[in-house]
Amino acid sequence: MTIAIVVHGGAKTVSPDKEQPNKEGCLAAVQAGWQILEQGGDARAAVEAAIRVLESDQTFNAGFGSTLNSEGEVEVDAAMMESKTLRWGAVAAVQGLRHPISAARKVMEEKPRLLVARSGERFAREHGLELCPKEDLVSQEQRQEWEEEAEVIDRPNTVGCVALDVNGILVAGTSTGGTTGQPQGRVGDTALVGSGLYADHRGACSTTGDGESIIPVVLAKTAVDFLSGDAASMDGVLAVHPEQAAEKAIEVLKQRVSGEAGCILLDQNGRIGWAYNSQDMAVAYMHDELQQPAVFISKEDEAPVNM
C-alpha cells in the first residue's frame, strides 16, 4: 500500500530572507510525519506530528508565532478529519493552547464537534493537553509588528497537512493563528469542514489563505470533488489527477470571489497535487517512490506532473 504525506506553510509572499526558514520548517514537518507513516503508524498521528512542528516554529502562523488579533492576543483555530468514518474535530478562538492540532484530534476521537473559546480551553485542560500563559504564544516579531502597525510582507496563512497511511486511511489537518488584527473571536475557514479541510474515500485536502474567500466556495470539498471529474460526483472514480483538481478548485475561487488561497491535495492512490493564486506557497512532500522529501517555495521549482 502506498503511503504519502504533504505539508504546507501557507499561501503568501515569501521574502528572500524567509525562504530558508520556510523550507527548513516544512521539511522538518514532513519528516516528522513520514517517520510515523514508514513505521506503519496511522495518518492521524502523522498529520498531528507534522503540524505540531509547524506550530512550534515562529516562521509560521500557527501556535507560537501566530498573528495577533485586535486586542494584541493570539487566538488559534485547528481541525482534523479522517476519510474512513468522516469523523472530524475542531477548536477555534482558543487562547493559551500550544498545540491546537492535538486538541482537534482529541475532539475528533471523542465526539465530532467544534469547540470555541472557553469551551475549547476547558476541553484542553480536562484532557491534559499542553496549556501555557497566553503571552507565551506571542513572538517578539509579531508583537513588534502589531505595536508598530507595520505593513507585513511575509505573513504566513494557515498551515496544514494531508497524509495516507498503510491502511489506506486519508487524514487532513489545518492550524492557524488567523489574520493580523482580526476582531477578537473571529473564526475563519480553518476549523470548518469542507472549507479549511476535507477527507473522504477519494482524497484529502487542506487549504490556506483568506478565510472569508475560502468559506463561500467550500474550497477543500470542492477540490476533493474535482477528483471524480465532476464536482457533484460521489461515485469514487478518480478521473482527475490531484494536480488538476487542485488547480480547478483554485480557479473556482478566482472566478467567484476575490482573495488569495492555496490547497494541497492527496488522493487514495497517493498522488499529490497543490495549487495557489498567491505569489508563493511553501510546500513539502514525501511518498514511497522518493528517496528524500521534496520542498518548494513556489510551483516554478517543481518538475511538471505526469497527468
Burial category of 35 from C-beta neighbours within 10 Å (exposed 0-12, middle 13-18, buried 19 and up): middle
Which of 67, 158, 180, 208 is flagged as catalytic? 158
Other beta carbons less than 10 A from residue 288's beta carbon: 13
Does residue 158 have an active-site annotation? yes
Contact 137, 63 (CB under 8 A): yes
* Active-site residue list: 158
